[in-house]
Every structure is written in C-alpha cells, then in structure tokens.
Amino acid sequence: MNKRVRIPKMNDRVGTSGRHGVFAVVGIDKKLKTADLRLLGGTQPTDKDIPWTMLVYLDEEDANQAAARVVRESTDKI
C-alpha cells in the first residue's frame, strides 16, 4: 500500500527524526517537498529544507485533511 505524506502547513507543530524538541513550520517548499522549522522556545536559527517524510505531526489533522485522507483511502481500494 502507498503511504501518503501529510502536507505541512505554516505554524504546524512538529517533531522530526534526529532532532530533539518541538518545532513550528515557518516555511514550505511544495516543489522540493521540504519545510523550514524553528525550535519552539529556543533561540537557535531555523532548520531549513527538512523533508516532509521526516516530520512527525503533534497536532491533529484538520477536517479538510481528514476528509481528503478518507477519500484517498476509499479510492485506493478500487
């Protein structure tokens, strides 16, 4: 089965493999499928060009994302 990758949105709270802490999405590159992240509560510079596949979402998906996921999952079985 194909694993679908959630598309990040600005200000999503995420974690990521290989880095400790909670980050906010502060930039998105849809062409490269990467995100720029800023550590919440930290003073470190922004981590740039993190692949979407490495993100772990800490917030619930919104209703639009849930609806799109249900449609994709139901049509993948046909």
pLDDT in tens, 42-61: 777 889 999 999 999 987 65
Low-confidence ranges of the chain (pLDDT < 50): 1
How many residues in total does the chain contain? 78
Q: What is the pLDDT of residue 42?
A: 77
Q: 0.85 exceeded by the pTM?
A: no
Cβ neighbours, 10 Å, residue 34: 19
Which 8-state DSSP code applies to residue 63?
A: H
Type of residue numbered 26: V
User: Which residues fall within 8 angstroms of residue 8, CB to CB, at 6 or more apart?
Assistant: 14, 25, 28, 35, 52, 55, 57
Structure tokens at 22: 């909670």
